[in-house]
Chains A and B, each alone.
Chain A
Amino acid sequence: MTGAPPVPRRREGLATWAMVAPALAITMVFALYPVVDSLWLSLHDIFVGIPQLGSPFVGFENYIALFRDPVARQALVVTLAFVILSTLLELACGLIIALVIHEQFQGRGLVRAAILIPWAIPTVVASQLWRYIFNDQYGFANLLLFGDRVTDYIPWLAYPSVAFAVVVLADVWKTSSFAALLILAGLQVIPRDLYDAARVDGATMWQRFWHITLPLLKPALLLALLFRTMDAFRVFDLVFVMTQGGPGDATQVLQYYGYQTLFTEGRVGYGSAVSVTVFLMIMALSLTYLRAIGSSLLERRRA
């Protein structure tokens, strides 16, 4: 018998609720309410510019219009291309960075800190930086490639596909270190003796990487993938600062389109439909990932 008398179940439940209540309230007000409100707004036709129209309930009309909207369709294609390209590149770069800074070497602490610098720079500042790097007249990219031959300078951001690639590059530069951080954490929990045993069995470096590191890194990789995909889906500031969607809508992503329709154009119902659609896509993706992460953790426990 322990000294303390058991707390009655009922009181324990109340105490739990009291402790959870603040967090719950904050979530309700700041997360659930805006989402539900957006959903509600998206079922109405609201134009800030024409208040006489009122706000008639239109059901899913905004969503139907969204599916037929060529601007939104292109923005979806651009967004998906951005998500896939930037996430894969970030995972690849992140993995390489993590493997390097996982090794023991002189000045590792310094390198680890340095690698985080791009991630620590505000995105707006980083975007401005990359815009300058690819400037047609005084950009560093041109200086590096052509030096004094100013007549050869290339207006990078004037080509739709190059402008898109530069936005991807800026994102990869900025967030690979974040992926690296997550992967590094995964690397550090892999028991050393596995490698020792493999070495005794005569496994090469590649074999150890393929058969030990990569499989055991799966949960960390999935986690990095989850975070990066969600973030990439929400890309806004890079586009806002670097290209404003141009040239020719080549960098027009869904979030920026939603911002434009909601804030600049005042098409509240339609803009909300864009936001809700992005939200639903991200949620579906997250749930899929979470399920995958959950099952891979289970596998590991069984093993």
Chain B
Amino acid sequence: MRWICSRRIERSPQPPTGTASSWIGLLVLILLAWSPGTLRAESRADAALAASTPPVTLRFVSWKPDHAPVWDEVLADFSRAHPQISVARELAPHSSTAYHDLLTQKLKNRDATVDVFFIDVIWVPEFGETGWAHPLDDFFSPAMRQEFLPAAVEVGRYGTHYYGVPSRIDAGLLYYRQDLLTKYGFLPPATWPELIHQAETILAGERATNPLLQGYSAQFKQYEGLVCNMLEFVEGHGGSLLRPDGTGSSLSSPQALAAVQFVRDAVIGRLTSRAALTYQEPEALSLFLQGHAIFHRNWPYAWELANNRARSTIAGQVGVAPLPGFSPGRTAAALGGWLYGISAYSRHPDEAWTLIEYLSSQAVQKKFSREAGIAPSREALFSDPDVLARSPQLTNQRAVLQAATARPRSPLYPAISHLLQRYFSRALAVDGIDLAEEAALTDAHIDRLLALTKAAP
């Protein structure tokens, strides 16, 4: 008997439907959270599968993509090239946490109707430790690994096994208004004090014509993205979330405390509106696209949208640089991104690999980066003239992607992340809080979780 949750399988290309489908995703998730599951009748596709081996239907659990038409084309091309394999996509919510909860619920149930999925770079230890992801050592050959950015390949390794093939690799970047910086004679700032100085000068000059203009827009809501933003400040200040040997949390270090204090005093409510405490990526980006922010922190995908004349009022006036640090040359970017993985419970790992090999091929990555502006993970594409003609910023991004800092790598990362989110959100949002005390409390809490992982044989 199989107990699985209500699902939505999408086979045909569909235009993006905006909030409606994310609501459906949310509803699905809530159903998932509340009900023990609904008994699903064996579908005809499954019955057909049992009768004869080929053709195979692969279930690809994906988040709702930003560039749906490109995805549809790519999957249609795959079906043409491999008539024996059909791909049924199941779309989950866009948010990483919501996608995680839906996907892992299926994996906990050893659901055989999941073949291919995305792994957020932060889940690799969890998926490796639990055995949810099929080790790709036999598929992802050393020769093939060499074709990708080393940082992107390494993030997919846990212990001695590789669990994911890089789909797209992300790092935090500083976007800025090229026109405004040029007007006031500034170069992109290398340090936060410099950024604040530039922002204050520009704001003083522009307030009269643009009263809504802010210095900075970024993501400070209590959610996963807050950890990325704060990691960049802490690392940029010479601190780190975990001690270098990974054995303990180090939020109480003077550098980490100073970085958090800086964001609390000089960023929230000053450089950026207090509203940033409610912002995830879309809200912060929208502020920048409306021309209401001089500086903006986001992932590589924002470049495409910021220069898209249909959606952005500042197209063609955008620059991108590494995020500032607290001393020149000291910069930090949070590492993000997605890997393709195969479920350990899949009955068709070979066909699943065929799909992954295709999706991560040079040609498909090139298509994604030319048509959707998605940063590639293949080394060669960073010097491909066709790609660079469309995305010249990739030349600069390569170094940032290569040097980006991973969030704590632990199979209990979701729990660690919640503690970090709570600490940072309280540090930024609650008045009169004792930072050192909160940091010490959170350190102790995270240390206990880390000790558990170590105690495991």
Interface residues of A (CB under 8 A from B): 30, 34, 47-53, 70-71, 122, 124-125, 128, 136-137, 150-151, 155, 157-160, 236-237, 240-241, 243-250, 252, 259-261, 263-267
Bound complex: CA A244 to CA B41 (Å): 34
The answer to whether A264 touches B414 (Cβ under 8 A) is yes
With contact pairs A51-B129, A263-B33 given, residues A248 and B428 touching in the complex (Cβ less than 8 Å): yes
Binding site for A on B (CB under 8 A): 23, 26-27, 30, 33, 36, 97, 100-101, 104-105, 108, 125-126, 129-131, 211-212, 221-223, 273-278, 287, 410-415, 418-419, 421-422, 425-430, 433, 441, 452-453, 455-457
Known contacts A155-B275, A246-B222, A259-B33; is-contact A124 B101 (Cβ 8 Å)? no
Complex CA gap A277/B62 in Å reads 35
In the complex, which residues of chain A have a beta carbon less than 8 angstroms from the beta carbon of B221?
244, 246-247
Contact B104 A48 (CB under 8 A): yes
Residues of B within 8 A of A51 (CB): 129-131
Contact of A49 with B278 at beta-carbon distance under 8 Å, contacts A244-B221, A265-B415 already known? no
Q: Can you report 11 residue pairs joining A to B where beta carbons are below 8 Å apart?
A: A30-B36, A50-B129, A50-B411, A124-B23, A136-B278, A151-B212, A155-B273, A246-B222, A247-B221, A265-B418, A266-B415
Q: How far is the CB of A52 from chain B (nearest CB, A)?
A: 4
- Interchain CB contact (< 8 A) of A244 among B222, B427, B433, B441: B222
Query: Smallest Cβ distance from A26 to chain B, in angstroms?
Result: 13
Q: Which residues of A contact B108 (CB under 8 A)?
A: 48
Known: A48-B130, A248-B222. A158 touches B97 (CB 8 A): no
The 7 closest A-B pairs by CB, nearest first: A246-B222, A155-B275, A247-B429, A49-B411, A248-B429, A265-B415, A136-B275
Interface of chain B, main secondary structure: helix
Residues of B within 8 A of A241 (CB): 26
9 additional A-B residue pairs with CB within 8 Å, beyond A159-B429, A266-B415: A34-B36, A49-B414, A128-B23, A136-B273, A155-B275, A245-B422, A249-B426, A263-B105, A264-B414
Q: A53-B452, A246-B277 are in contact. Are A124 and B212 (CB under 8 A)?
A: no
CB distance from B34 to the nearest CB of A (A): 8
Judging by beta carbons under 8 Å apart, are B104 and A260 in contact? no
Which of A49, A71, A158, A252 has the largest number of chain B CB atoms within 10 A?
A: A49
In whole Å, how far is B124's beta carbon from the nearest beta carbon of chain A?
A: 12
Closest to B416 in A: A265
Q: Least Cβ distance of A133 to chain B in Å? A: 13
Given contacts A247-B221, A249-B222, contact A266 B36 (CB under 8 A): no
Point out the residues of chain A lying under 8 angstroms from B126, CB to CB.
49, 266
B350 to nearest A CB, angstroms? 26
Could you say which residues of chain B place their CB within 8 Å of the CB of A128?
A: 23
A246-B429, A247-B429 given as contacts; is B222 within 8 A of A157 (CB)? no
Known contacts A48-B130, A246-B221, A157 near B278 by CB under 8 Å: yes
Distance to closest chain A CB from B173 (angstroms): 24
A250–B277 alpha-carbon span in the complex (Å)? 12
Chain A neighbourhood of B97, CB < 8 A: 264
Query: Which chain A residue has the least Cβ–Cβ distance from B123?
Result: A49
Q: Which of B104, B222, B441 lies in contact with A266, CB distance below 8 A?
A: B104
- With a 10 A CB-CB cut-off, give which of A47, A48, A246 has the most chain B CB atoms: A246
Return chain B residues, CB-CB under 8 Å to A245. 222, 422
Residue in B closest to A123 when the chains form the complex, CB atoms: B30
Would B100 and A150 count as touching, CB distance under 8 A? no
Q: Are B30 and A155 in contact (CB under 8 A)?
A: no
Inter-chain CA distance A124–B101, complex, in Å, is 18
State which of B30, B130, B433 has its C-beta within 8 Å of the C-beta of A49.
Answer: B130
On chain B, the residues within 8 Å of A249 by CB distance are 222, 422, 425-426
Q: Do A50 and B412 have beta carbons less than 8 Å apart?
A: yes
CA distance A124 to B287 in the complex (A): 26
In the bound complex, do residue A124 and residue B130 qualify as a contact, i.e. CB atoms below 8 Å apart?
Answer: no
A170 nearest CB across to chain B (Å)? 15
Complexed CA–CA distance, A179 and B76 (Å) = 53
CA distance A151 to B221 in the complex (A): 21
CA of A160 to CA of B425 in the docked complex: distance in angstroms?
10
Whether B100 and A50, one on each chain, are in contact in the complex, defined by CB atoms closer than 8 angstroms, is: no
User: A237 near B30 (CB under 8 angstroms)?
Assistant: yes
CA distance A48 to B127 in the complex (A): 10
Interfacial chain A residues near B101, Cβ < 8 Å: 263-264
Question: Closest CB-CB distance, A47 to chain B, in whole Å?
Answer: 7
Check B277 against A264 for contact (C-beta < 8 Å). Answer: no
Tell me the bound Cα distance from A44 to B274 in angstroms. Answer: 43
How many angstroms from the CA of A155 to the CA of B412 in the assembled complex? Answer: 34
- Give A136 to B217 CA distance when docked, in angstroms: 14
Please indicate the chain B residues that have their CB under 8 angstroms from the CB of A70 in the complex: 441
Task: Establish whether residues B278 and A158, one from each chain, have CB atoms under 8 Å apart when the complex forms.
Answer: yes
- Whether the Cβ atoms of B429 and A265 lie closer than 8 Å is no
Contact A158 B452 (CB under 8 A): no
**Which residue of the partner chain B has the closest CB to A71?**
B422
On whether the beta carbons of A247 and B412 are closer than 8 Å, the reply is: no
A122–B411 CA distance with the chains assembled, in angstroms = 36
CB distance from B277 to the nearest CB of A (A): 4
Query: How far is the CB of A18 from the nearest CB of chain B, in Å?
Result: 25
CB–CB A247/B33 < 8 A: no
For residue A48, which residues in chain B have a CB less than 8 angstroms away from its CB?
Answer: 104, 108, 130
Q: Which residue of A lies closest to B287 (CB)?
A: A137
B residues near A155, Cβ cutoff 8 Å: 273-275, 277-278
In the bound complex, how far is the Cα of B429 from the Cα of A151, in angstroms?
A: 21
Given known contacts A34-B36, A246-B425, A267 and B278 CB-to-CB distance under 8 angstroms: no
